Structure 1
């Protein structure tokens, strides 16, 4: 098995270095939303016009506005009202993040199943990122949500690659090891290709570094904490990490006791937000 992991990993790395690996493109609606949001003279009406062309995306944005994360004082029933409440930046980040779900599709049933599981996982982490950002008030919840949605993006080209190899489709353990090894650098390569700012593009290759001691809070650290807290009750992986040794908790002023009642309270909001996102 280890030989197959090495062979596949080396093949993918070589393909990336030779520009032969197919990296996903940002969905068209996300590109248009970003273009509008980055123009100084754009208006809410301009953004509404772009998003309104995608009925499913419009409905999901309205659903998020009415979720516990934002706690609208009255129910939001239409897209213009939703975007007016969120503002340009929040709406654009939310729309870009939600539009990415279009990329989580495959022709193989086994790979499709993994794609769906991956999207659901990133949805959970994105929900925790939003909740933690809102609680700590140190980073904007909209970009925090986007940070969570992109942190495992590098798994997509690996899963696409696996569709062409029956040995990988049928070997979940080996495929999982390849994803674990390569999704970080591949994710950063994708986000750099999309011209995301370094504060976001560095997340995939950074968020698993538990010994980081950044001078100030950053999105990679928030994604790290979201993974730790979401998986705090597991008996494997993230669930086995020693929180007392992780300086990020202190940087974000969060308790290192995984049984702290704060996390039980925030978990309810995270779950409600997840239902709205995914």
Structure 2
């Protein structure tokens, strides 16, 4: 590993240990949505009122409800009907996930480009996770969607750190190596700070462990499979991994064959679902 990768990685790790690393805060609307969802006596009307203050978020939730994955016989035209159809928990997870997009912004053009690319990537994995969850019926689709959107959240503080260093902004390869090395533990630290559930908080640090053996389906395992399937036609990175050595396919009752017809069928649903995310 190059000296600069080692030095910067150690600096970031040390800053995290000393509480000197600025971790991103969950957007205000996401906090409000979660607070309402966690109250036992919360109502659809209360949740609708909070979400309706953000017109863009409201429109996207309606779009997701009308996507092929969730569409019912009658199209949803308003937020109250969308929240009623989804339910409080599903709407909460969806709103939290979608609200996080506003965090993927930077002042540097180069870092901004990386953040946009990162959000698009997590959106793709989120769509795959949602579609796979809907197919297997082994996990809630809203939890799968949220797991996909947060699995690389640990890259955000690294990119924010890089904005202060011209050498990193101009060196995509080095920056990429630092992100690969640190985004897992940083992501879990962020999600623990946000008080996410243990299963969701563990996703960033576990999803790249493709040989992990689990008895029951979990969020991290689903995101592992989503990354593998999304990149099954590639020859490097996720695409170079031997599916026969990934025991989680059996846990999720999914074929280990890259050429199985199921993946083409689900890919069509993913393309339609990405319109909402």
TM-score, normalised by the number of residues in structure 1: 0.99
Match of 1:53 in 2: 53
Structure 2 CA distance, aligned partners of 1:136 and 1:26? Answer: 30
Matching of residues 226-245 of structure 1 within 5 Å = 226-245=226-245
Is 1:41 aligned with 2:41? yes
Per-residue displacement from partner, 1:70-115 (whole Å, max 9, x unpaired)?
0221111000011011000110000000000010000000000000
Match of 1:103 in 2: 103
The Cα shift of 1:276 comes to 1.2
Structure 2 CA distance, aligned partners of 1:73 and 1:110? Answer: 44
Q: Equivalent residue of 1:275, what SS? A: coil
Is 1:172 aligned with 2:151? no
Match of 2:7 in 1: 7
**Worse overlay, 38-47 or 65-74:** 65-74
Matching of residues 190-269 of structure 1 within 5 Å = 190-269=190-269
Structure 1 CA distance, aligned partners of 2:212 and 2:146? Answer: 21
The Cα shift of 1:239 comes to 0.2
Q: Equivalent residue of 2:138, what SS? A: coil
Q: Which runs of 4+ in 1 moved over 3 A?
A: none
Match of 2:130 in 1: 130
Match of 2:150 in 1: 150
Give the total of aligned pairs.
277
The alignment yields a C-alpha RMSD, in angstroms, of 0.7
Structure 2 CA distance, aligned partners of 1:220 and 1:258? Answer: 20
Match of 2:272 in 1: 272
TM-score, normalised by the number of residues in structure 2: 0.99
Structure 2 CA distance, aligned partners of 1:272 and 1:21? Answer: 38
Q: Equivalent residue of 1:117, what SS? A: helix
Structure 2 CA distance, aligned partners of 1:97 and 1:273? Answer: 15
Matching of residues 57-72 of structure 1 within 5 Å = 57-72=57-72
Q: Equivalent residue of 1:276, what SS? A: coil
Match of 1:116 in 2: 116
Per-residue displacement from partner, 1:118-141 (whole Å, max 9, x unpaired)?
000000000000000000000000
The Cα shift of 1:50 comes to 0.3
Structure 1 CA distance, aligned partners of 2:69 and 2:154? Answer: 27
Structure 1 CA distance, aligned partners of 2:275 and 2:121? Answer: 12
Structure 1 CA distance, aligned partners of 2:159 and 2:152? Answer: 12
